[in-house]
Amino acid sequence: MPERTTKPTRPKRATSAKKAPRTPARRRRPDERPSQILEAALDVFGEKGLAAARLDDIARRAKLAKGTIYLYFPNKDELFRAVIRSTLVAELERAESLLTTGTPEEQLDAFMHGYWTFICSPTFERVHRLVTSEIPKFPDLARFYGTEVIARGHRLVSGVIRDGIAAGVYRDSDPIATARMIMGMFFIHGLWRTKRLYLPHLAVVSDKLMFEQLSDFLRAALRPDHGRPHHSTASVAPRSHS
């Protein structure tokens, strides 16, 4: 009787280690969605411009359904306004809440420090780039920005200057014009600090030193006129630029 041949046993495959279950992404609470949408809108507006940006792009960036945006913002223009309110206007509101106590000098110091801190933040650069590139194309939004941001900031600072003049700690001047000079100087230095590659003479000037130079100059410019020498009316020889 022929012998039975036994089939060779196949080696068992090594069982792969079980993959750890994925941690589900945290679902944001409904009250967090507006800020989630605004953050995504700022990114998309900055990348594509206001005209080219679509709500679909913003919804995708925010990882939300497009319909969710309409629950909070009726259209793209209102979403843009909300971006400005959540950044620039929010910074002004913070400053307004702080400048309620203290002397005019203390209030101005607090404003300058807070404004410079905001100017040095990534948010300022992103919003400024968006505003300067898009605002001129949309007159209604330009008026909104001029009223809600520029004029409001000037009113805030001019109030501090007016109180300082009344208290005798600041020289007599036009408070609105003075506020414009203060905010303009900080604003332009905020832009220059991001262009050190093209402005090599500013490469050695740190943000801290730039703030100290600005604030020292403005304090000196605001001092009362008592004892200041009058400017000579004599003609001055032109400076040589050679």
The CATH number of whichever domain residue 42 belongs to comes to 1.10.10.60
> What pLDDT score was predicted for residue 96?
94
Tokens linked to 134: 């898009």
**208 part of a folded domain:** yes
Chosen domain end from 74, 94, 125: 74
Question: 222 or 228: which carries more pLDDT confidence?
Answer: 222
Residue percentage of the chain with pLDDT more than 70: 80
Distance CA 48, CA 124 (A): 18
| Type of residue at 106 | E
Instruction: Identify whether residues 153 and 188 lie together within a single domain.
Output: yes
Residue 140: pLDDT over 80: yes
Instruction: Identify whether residues 118 and 203 lie together within a single domain.
Output: yes
Instruction: Identify whether residues 93 and 192 lie together within a single domain.
Output: yes
Burial 226-236 (b: 16+ CB within 10 A, else e): eeeeeeeeeee
Taking residues 153-182, report their average pLDDT.
97
Going from the C-alpha of 9 to that of each of 4, 12, 19, the distances in angstroms are 15, 9, 29
> What pLDDT score was predicted for residue 27?
57
Instruction: Identify whether residues 198 and 170 lie together within a single domain.
Output: yes
> What pLDDT score was predicted for residue 20?
52
Instruction: Identify whether residues 129 and 186 lie together within a single domain.
Output: yes
**167 part of a folded domain:** yes
Taking residues 204-225, report their average pLDDT.
95
Instruction: Identify whether residues 95 and 149 lie together within a single domain.
Output: yes
Question: How far does Cα 31 stand from its chain's mean position?
Answer: 23
Q: Total domain count for the chain?
A: 2
Tokens linked to 208: 């801290």
Instruction: Identify whether residues 59 and 113 lie together within a single domain.
Output: no
Residue 6: pLDDT over 90: no
Residue 4: pLDDT over 80: no
Taking residues 75-84, report their average pLDDT.
92
Separation of first and last alpha carbons in the chain:
118
Tokens linked to 143: 């008026």
Residue 171: pLDDT over 50: yes
Instruction: Identify whether residues 149 and 64 lie together within a single domain.
Output: no
Instruction: Identify whether residues 118 and 167 lie together within a single domain.
Output: yes
Going from the C-alpha of 178 to that of each of 52, 65, 187, the distances in angstroms are 38, 48, 14
Q: Which of 217, 216, 209 is nearest to 193 (CA)?
A: 209
**2 part of a folded domain:** no
Question: 137 or 20: which carries more pLDDT confidence?
Answer: 137
Instruction: Identify whether residues 65 and 143 lie together within a single domain.
Output: no
Chosen domain end from 18, 51, 74: 74
How do residues 26-65 score in pLDDT, each as one tens digit?
455 667 789 999 999 999 998 888 888 999 999 999 999 9
**189 part of a folded domain:** yes
- List the domain range (segments joined by +) for residue 148: 84-222
**27 part of a folded domain:** no
Instruction: Identify whether residues 94 and 162 lie together within a single domain.
Output: yes
**137 part of a folded domain:** yes
Residue percentage of the chain with pLDDT more than 90: 63
CATH number at residue 214: 1.10.357.10
**173 part of a folded domain:** yes
Instruction: Identify whether residues 208 and 106 lie together within a single domain.
Output: yes
